[in-house]
Structure 1
Amino acid sequence: MSKPILWIVIPCYNEEQVLPITAPMFLKKINDLAAAGLISEKSRVLFVNDGSRDATWSLIQKFASEDEHFIGISQSRNRGHQNAVLAGLMEALHSGSCDITISIDCDGQDDINAMDEMVKKYLDGAEVVYGVRSRRDTDTFFKRFTAEGFYHVMNALGADIVFNHADYRLISTRVLESFADYREVNIFLRGMVPLVGYPSDTVYYERHERLAGESHYPLSKMLALAFDGITSLSNKPIRLITGAGIVVSLISFIGVIWAIVQAVLGSAVAGWASTICIVCFMGGVQLVCLGVIGEYVGKIYMETKARPRYIISERTWAPYERKYHG
Structure 2
Amino acid sequence: MRPPADPPVDTDPTAPPQLSVVVPMFDEEAVIGMFVDRLRPVLDDLGQSYEVVVVDDGSRDTTPALLEKARRDWPQLRVVRLRANAGHQAALSAGLMRARGAWVATIDADLQDPPETIAGMLTAARERSADVVYGVRNDRTTDSLFKRHTANAYYRMIRRLVGHHVPADAGDFRLMSRATVDAVNRLPAQNRVLRLVIPALGFPSAQVEYRREERAAGTTKYPLSRMIRLTVDSLTGFSIAPLRLATWFGLGGAVVTALLLALAVVAFLTDHTLPGWTSTFVVVAAVGAIQLLCLGLLGEYVGRLYTQLQGRPTYHIAYDSADEADRSNQ
Instruction: Return the match for 2:286 from 281, 290, 294.
Output: 281
CA–CA distance in structure 2, aligned partners of residues 175 and 181 of structure 1: 10
What secondary structure does 1:263 align onto?
A: helix
What secondary structure does 1:163 align onto?
A: coil
Runs of 5+ in structure 2 lacking a partner?
A: 1-10
What letter is aligned with 2:79?
G
Instruction: Return the match for 1:117 from 117, 120, 140.
Output: 120
Aligned to 1:295: 300
CA–CA distance in structure 2, aligned partners of residues 292 and 244 of structure 1: 12
Residues 136-165 of structure 1, C-alpha deviations (whole Å, 9 max, x = no match)? 222332221111111112223336632111
Residues 303-322 of structure 1, C-alpha deviations (whole Å, 9 max, x = no match)? 11011122211011118989
Aligned to 2:54: 47
**1:60 equivalenced with 2:60 (yes/no):** no
**1:139 equivalenced with 2:143 (yes/no):** yes
Conserved in 1, the CA contact under 8 Å of 2:39 and 2:116? no
**1:91 equivalenced with 2:98 (yes/no):** yes
**1:102 equivalenced with 2:105 (yes/no):** yes
TM-score normalised by L of structure 1: 0.91
TM-score normalised by L of structure 2: 0.90
CA–CA distance in structure 1, aligned partners of residues 30 and 154 of structure 2: 29
* Aligned-pair CA distance for 1:191: 0.5
Conserved in 1, the CA contact under 8 Å of 2:249 and 2:290? no
Aligned to 1:239: 244
* Aligned-pair CA distance for 1:78: 0.6
CA–CA distance in structure 2, aligned partners of residues 212 and 187 of structure 1: 28
**1:219 equivalenced with 2:224 (yes/no):** yes
CA–CA distance in structure 1, aligned partners of residues 17 and 203 of structure 2: 18
What letter is aligned with 1:286?
Q
Aligned to 1:37: none
CA–CA distance in structure 2, aligned partners of residues 137 and 259 of structure 1: 56
What letter is aligned with 1:194?
P
CA–CA distance in structure 1, aligned partners of residues 188 and 324 of structure 2: 23
Runs of 5+ in structure 1 lacking a partner?
A: 35-39
Conserved in 2, the CA contact under 8 Å of 1:127 and 1:175? yes
Aligned to 1:17: 30
Aligned to 2:4: none
Residues 75-130 of structure 1, C-alpha deviations (whole Å, 9 max, x = no match)? 111100000011101101xx4xx100110000111111211110001112110000
Conserved in 2, the CA contact under 8 Å of 1:64 and 1:316? no
Residues 181-218 of structure 1, C-alpha deviations (whole Å, 9 max, x = no match)? 21141110011001112110000000111111111112
Aligned to 2:40: 27
* Aligned-pair CA distance for 1:274: 0.6
Conserved in 1, the CA contact under 8 Å of 2:93 and 2:189? no
CA–CA distance in structure 2, aligned partners of residues 320 and 263 of structure 1: 86
* Aligned-pair CA distance for 1:55: 1.3
How many residues are paired up?
311
Query: Mean Cα displacement is larger for which, 76-85 or 130-139?
Result: 130-139
CA–CA distance in structure 1, aligned partners of residues 136 and 178 of structure 2: 21
Query: Mean Cα displacement is larger for which, 152-161 or 233-242?
Result: 152-161
When the two chains are superposed, the root-mean-square deviation of aligned CA atoms in Å is 1.9
What letter is aligned with 1:218?
P
Conserved in 1, the CA contact under 8 Å of 2:189 and 2:313? no
CA–CA distance in structure 1, aligned partners of residues 287 and 87 of structure 2: 37
CA–CA distance in structure 2, aligned partners of residues 184 and 26 of structure 1: 28
What secondary structure does 1:266 align onto?
A: coil
Conserved in 2, the CA contact under 8 Å of 1:122 and 1:129? yes
Conserved in 2, the CA contact under 8 Å of 1:27 and 1:69? no
What letter is aligned with 1:141?
L
